[in-house]
Amino acid sequence: MADYEFLSVAEVPAYLAAYPELAARIDVERIASVDEIGDGNLNLVFLVKDEAGRGVVLKQALPYVRMSGGSWSMTPERERHEVESLTAHRALVPDLVVEVLHHDEKRHIFAMEDLSDHSVWRPALNVGKVHNGVAERVGTYIGAVAFGTSLFALDRQQLADSQASAINPELCTITEDLVFTEPSVDAGRNAVLPANEADAAALSADTVFVDAMGRAKYWFMTCAEALIHGDLHTGSVMVRGAGDGTDADSVKVFDSEFAFFGPVAFDIGATWANYVLAASRAYALGEDARAEWALGLVEQTWRGFEDEFRRRWPERRDARVWRDTFLEERLAAWRAQSWLFAAAKMSRRIVGYAKVTDVETLPPDLREGAARGVLAAARAAVRVGPDTRAALFAQVCGGELVAHRTGR
Ligand code: SR1
Ligand code: MG
């Protein structure tokens, strides 16, 4: 039994009116619509509009995983992790992170700016939209967070306070299980098309892959480098713009409830995996040019990340020992780790719990090959040398996607 009240559509106007910081953003006497729009796996999300078109978004964490229907308990305190990380990240890159307007810790609710003139990037990709410049800006965000929330920017006490506040074991456990262990060791939550059962079995039997996942899980649980997003897939990014090959005019990262002090490369690998998933859909649909564009995003995110991290490097706290040689070492290590994290993130979305629409909404005859290609890409990614560049990662994955496509 929850010890707090769940928000309802009917209650939302009175809730907004009770908080001056919200009543200042929307006309609470003239609410035109309240819609529950949560389409993620976990939370309630309400979009509220007034008659003049102004809006706010309210998000409430439930004490369970929404997509489980209540059978899977989960701490609602995740809303605090989301608010604290969004606030810390926005302080570093204000243009690239959604604004938090209000926080109600007792009811695990917070309010955000209305981004309904944006689209979530994943569904935009799924319908063939091409917003340029997004991947690079996501890389800029990762680079800013990697530097600005880490020991390179914070003093010892700030770092300790931030690390202590960001301890997020329940959500980390979900990632540890779903992303690193369960793709190869089914805990009863995996599912694939009958035609892909042999592919899933081959993944489990691939000792090189399983060993690599063991290494990746170890890094995830031990490399407390920065206050990372923790779930940076294309469904955690909003984009605005025509989507016709021109530049996006706004990019906003959101949904960072999995934030904790973890490995910087986990966020990079998460984006790479999702670009491969987007490419798998495009190849399956015969849109090869768009698939190649999606694979090109891998290099763009890396470039945005590296440029931003290098830009901030002169501001580091102890240049006496963190010399430029150390910068080069870190970048090389992060690039190599990104490959493994990407492999983990690709495989979990095909085999495990919480799949993605990129592949799931394909007709089964096309889905079979897309799923097989992504699993083959994940297995290839863990076999490539640690010095390999981001662009080669994309090439290796693309080769597997093309080699395995079906239904043509
Ligand atoms: C039980 S939560 C399943 C997934 O939803 C979130 O979006 C995360 O990706 C998590 O792994
Ligand atoms: Mg999420």
Q: What pLDDT, in 10s, does the model give residues 335-355? A: 999 999 999 999 999 999 999
Q: What is the pLDDT of residues 43-58, one digit of tens each?
A: 999 999 999 999 999 9
Ligand nearest to the CA of 120: 2
pLDDT-based confidence at residue 302 (cuts at 50, 70, 90): very high
Chain-centroid distance of CA 186 in Å reads 23
The reply to whether ligand 1 has any atom less than 6 angstroms from the CB of 38 is no
Query: What strand order describes the sheet that includes 109-113?
Result: 31-36, 44-50, 55-60, 109-113, 100-104
Q: Residue whose CA is closest, atom 11 of ligand 1?
A: 175
Query: Is the pLDDT confidence value at 34 over 70?
Result: yes
Report the percentage of the chain scoring pLDDT > 90.
94
Q: Do 305 and 268 form a contact (C-beta atoms < 8 A)?
A: yes
Separation between Cα atoms, residue 231 and residue 236, nearest integer Å? 7
pLDDT score of 264: 98
The ligand 1 atom nearest the CA atom of 40: 7
Q: What is the mean pLDDT of the chain?
A: 97
Residue for token pair 């680079």: 143
Is residue 56 helix, strand or coil? Answer: strand
- Residue 387, pLDDT > 90, answer no
37 pLDDT more than 90: yes
143: which 2 tokens? 């680079």
* Token pair recorded at residue 296: 């090109």
Name the residue among 367, 364, 366 with its Cα closest to residue 407: 366
Ligand 1 binding pocket mutation candidate from 178, 234, 346 (most atoms within 8 A of CB):
178
Cross-strand bridge partners of residue 318: none
List the residue whose alpha carbon is closest to atom 6 of ligand 1: 41
Q: pLDDT confidence of 137, banded at 50, 70, 90?
A: very high
Give the SS3 label for residue 309. helix
Closest by CA to 31, choosing from 45, 20, 17, is 17
Note the pLDDT of residue 390. Answer: 86
pLDDT digits (tens, 9 = 90+) for 374-385: 999 999 999 987
- Confidence at residue 219, expressed as pLDDT on a 0 to 100 scale: 98
Residue type, 245: G
In 3D space, the residue among 367, 372, 378 whose CA is nearest the CA of residue 407 turns out to be 367
pLDDT at 385: 75
Sign of CA pseudo-dihedral 74, 76, 77, 83: positive
What pLDDT does residue 408 have? 77
Ligand number nearest to the C-alpha of 73 = 1
Going by C-alpha positions, the residue among 204, 215, 259 that lies closest to residue 82 is 259
Locate the ligand 1 atom nearest the alpha carbon of residue 72 and give its number: 1
Residue 196, burial from CB neighbour count under 10 angstroms (0-12, 13-18, 19+): buried
Distance 273 CA to ligand 1 centre (A): 15
CATH number for the 119-404 domain, one of 3.30.2310.20, 3.90.230.10, 3.90.1200.10, 3.90.1150.10? 3.90.1200.10
CATH class of 34-113: alpha beta
The pLDDT of residue 28: 96
Distances from the Cα of 251 to the Cα of 117, 119, 230, 309, 316, angstroms: 11, 10, 18, 19, 27
Q: Residue 73: what pLDDT?
A: 93
Distance 61 CA to ligand 1 centre (A): 13
**Which parts of 64-193 fold into alpha helices (H)?**
78-92, 121-126, 134-148, 156-165, 169-175
Question: How confident is the model at residue 2, as a pLDDT?
Answer: 83
Name the residue with higher pLDDT: 393 or 216: 216
Taking CA atoms only, the protein residue closest to ligand 1 atom 4 is 354
C-alpha 317 – ligand 2 centre gap (Å) = 33
**pLDDT (tens digit per residue) in 65-99:** 998 889 999 999 999 999 999 999 999 999 999 99
Ligand number, closest to the Cα atom of 256: 2
pLDDT of residue 1: 65
- Candidate of 41, 232, 267 to mutate for ligand 1, largest count of ligand atoms within 8 Å of Cβ: 41
Domain boundaries, the chain: 34-113, 119-404
